[in-house]
Amino acid sequence: MKTIAHSSKNIRFIKIFTISTFLLISMTACQYNKTSNLALLSSPIPTDTPLIFAPGIISIEDHASASITFNSDITELVLNHRKQGKNYNLYTMKLIDGKWSNLALAPFSTNLEDLDFHPRFTSKGDRLYFGSTRPISDTMKTSNGRRRLHQWYVDKNENGDWGAPILMGQPFKDRYVMGAIPSENGNLFFTSGTRTEEEGIYYAINRNGRYDTIERMGDVINTNGKFIAHPYIAPDESYLIYDSEKATEPNNTDLFISFNIDGTWSKSYSLGPKINTKLADGSGTVSPDGKYLFFSRSEKKTKEDGSTYWVSTMYWTDFVKLKREILDNINNNE
């Protein structure tokens, strides 16, 4: 996958992309008045300003919620969630008979001693990728026995229930991989790095269900700050969202987007001041219908005894409007 700086070809594409986005808004405007599955969980629906998602249900005071993912028809969700002082585990909710179930531990993430996080559904919703520090058997030992974090996945069986977690094989097993997310064609994007490779966003091409090599994405993405991580790839790979930490402001992460132009990634653009604040904004995902951006806003708090802890609140906003604003700003300023 090539990467280039901004060019006249880039600008022409973005103008066309803006028109396409406008048409998408027009075609789907009537759908905004319909009661969506998300509206049954969190109301009101955001328009111009990000709102806390499902306050008191998912976004709970002094808890941490992040990295939400939905199945294709938005009837099931999975996310990271933890109480103060506890590890992240995967929690889930399902829409049953027009009502969302209570937030509960996913059936494959019930060991509170292990860390399970950054879940990502496939486009079909029949597989879920996630990271975990759960122990692995001697027969699955990796070349780096000290590394505890590995990537796993679970598949749904014919009854719609999750099976047993499966450790991802090579070329992923022997290296650090976090936050793997598949595009519609099965290509995987994730955070990675080795002793000889800088941490950043990498990808692996799906070759008839097999992954042979891992490649690092270009500098237009991987030189934009520090700790570049948590990619969200559009199902059609038309854009990539990720977060990175400012070199001058530790623990202050912002969200960025890069557009795929005929196989070439554009430079990265900030999601803007409505999204990026003085707090840590990250772990962005988009609803399967492409309408809403979800992200976590995290901050460090101090207890009476002087010790500190982190809390994260889930936000959501109108992604169709946000993307159009970004593209309009690009066209007006470049």
pLDDT band at 33 (very low <50, low <70, confident <90, very high): very low
Look at the block and give the residue holding tokens 């999601």.
271
pLDDT of residue 250: 67
Average pLDDT of the chain, as a whole number: 87
Q: Is 114 exposed, middle or buried (0-12, 13-18, 19+ CB in 10 A)?
A: middle
Q: Which residues contact 168 (CB under 8 A, 6 or more apart)?
A: 129, 150, 151, 152, 153, 177, 180
In whole angstroms, give the CA distance from residue 279 to residue 288.
27
pLDDT of residue 26: 44
Q: Would you say residue 268 has pLDDT above 90?
A: yes
Tabulate helix, strand, coil % of the chain (nearest 5): 15, 40, 45
In whole angstroms, give the CA distance from residue 63 to residue 296.
12
What's the mean pLDDT in 165-178? 91
Q: Is 237 exposed, middle or buried (0-12, 13-18, 19+ CB in 10 A)?
A: middle
Specify the CATH number for the domain of residue 304.
2.120.10
In whole angstroms, give the CA distance from residue 296 to residue 53.
10
Amino acid 123 reads S
pLDDT of residue 139: 60
Q: Would you say residue 134 has pLDDT above 60?
A: yes
For 45-56, how does the pLDDT look when each residue is reduced to its tens digit (9 = 90+)?
Answer: 998 899 999 999
For 136-166, how does the pLDDT look when each residue is reduced to its tens digit (9 = 90+)?
Answer: 876 666 655 556 789 999 999 999 999 999 9
Q: Does 120 or 12 have the greater pLDDT score?
A: 120
Poorest-pLDDT segment among 34-43, 190-199, 275-284 = 190-199
Residue 283, SS3 per DSSP: strand
pLDDT of residue 196: 59
pLDDT band at 28 (very low <50, low <70, confident <90, very high): very low
Q: Would you say residue 202 has pLDDT above 90?
A: yes
Distance between start and end Cα atoms, the chain:
24
What's the mean pLDDT in 300-311? 85
For 239-267, how does the pLDDT look when each residue is reduced to its tens digit (9 = 90+)?
Answer: 999 999 876 666 789 999 999 989 999 99
Residue 152, SS3 per DSSP: strand
Structural domains counted in the chain: 1
Do 117 and 65 meet the contact criterion of CB atoms below 8 Å apart? no
% of the chain at pLDDT higher than 90: 67
Look at the block and give the residue holding tokens 């009502």.
99
Q: Would you say residue 31 has pLDDT above 50?
A: no
Q: Would you say residue 274 has pLDDT above 70?
A: yes
Do 91 and 83 meet the contact criterion of CB atoms below 8 Å apart? no
Q: Would you say residue 13 has pLDDT above 80?
A: no
pLDDT of residue 303: 85
What's the mean pLDDT in 183-209? 90
Q: By residue range, what is the domain housing residue 323? A: 2-333
pLDDT band at 309 (very low <50, low <70, confident <90, very high): confident
Indicate the helix (H) or strand (E) that contains 131: strand 127-132
Tokens of 45: 């629906």
pLDDT of residue 334: 66
State the pTM of this model: 0.87
pLDDT of residue 146: 53
* Helices 8-28, 319-333: crossing angle, 10 deg rounding: 150
Indicate the helix (H) or strand (E) that contains 15: helix 8-28
For 55-65, how does the pLDDT look when each residue is reduced to its tens digit (9 = 90+)?
Answer: 999 999 989 99
